[in-house]
Amino acid sequence: MGSGRNSFDSGMPQPPVSRNMEKMFLRLARAATVLAFIVVTVGAWVRLTDAGLGCPDWPGCYGQLIVAADAATDPAVQAEFGDRPVDTGAAWREMIHRYLASALGLICIALAAIGWLNRDRPGQPWRVPLALLALVIFQGLLGMWTVTLLLKPIVVVAHLLGGFATFGLLFWLARPNPWPLAAGRRLRALAVAAAAAVLLQIALGGWTSANYAALACPDFPTCQTQWWPEVADFDEAFVLWRGIGIDYEGGVLDHPARVAIHFTHRLGAIAAALLVGALGWLLLRRQEARRAGAVMLAALALQLAIGAAVVLFGVPLSLAVAHNGVAALLLLTIINAHQRIWRN
């Protein structure tokens, strides 16, 4: 996906401490990118296994930082959290996600600290690490609100987008000097449009999942046996805020609203596929970007195939989680194109 001389290497003699900090920064950024992908994927696994409220409190789980083996029979737990059945399996899935996210947050703190301490070194990024740290802190708040606001869809989607944004920023930091790509206005505009379409599609996917609408259209390529389902209720489908105190576990929308959400996600997939496909094709036709274009088109084809299979096979867990993971990888191909285009 492009490579080049490390931008940290300014060609001037630098103190050994600065060079060591640069190497540590890059290693941490690359490790954090992998960890962020795991966090995003595990987050999807938690959501799809209905473990989002496996721990009804935050940051601990039933008042503990480790899920107690006897939580289901502990009188104190029953007294405080008796309104919700204790499921230790769901609790552990939620806590595993929190542990991984906490580890990622610590690495982001380290990246911000190194970037700030080494900010006088030419090419050392420090503004993006500080922005990343602020994002991670906000992600922690969104994680808390996801629980305390009982899986409110707008918060769930914001948490999902924050996770993807964290992943993307870390990928950006892990590749400080990708090979530049000369691009005219058309290619730049198409790259922006493709990025916007993919981000919107990720948000629509999160909205579909958060409103339990994945099976609202059980047939494919039609929806409710129609190319444009007449039963769809678009007015109710995209009400972003419905007040406080509503438990959204299992969803609260009627079937027509869920059909509208699912169908909109499919329409978004068509638009995103056309834009990303066009961008990938233009990159594929250029010698210096052929590999980037091929990877982008391969990721797009895989994502479309998984999306269709999710519906045809009734949302199996493995495919649903893979759908989330491949969306993250597709986003990276878009970020890679932007890095190379705008660097030039």
The amino acid that residue 323 corresponds to is H
Q: In sequence order, which residues have a C-beta less than 8 Å from that of residue 344 and are 6 or more positions away?
A: 180, 181, 182, 183
Q: Which residues touch 322 (CB under 8 Å, ≥6 apart)?
A: 306
Q: Establish whether 249 is a catalytic residue.
A: no
Q: Which of 22, 94, 230, 288 is catalytic?
A: 94
Q: How far apart are CA 27 and CA 343, in angstroms?
A: 22
The residues annotated as belonging to the active site are 94
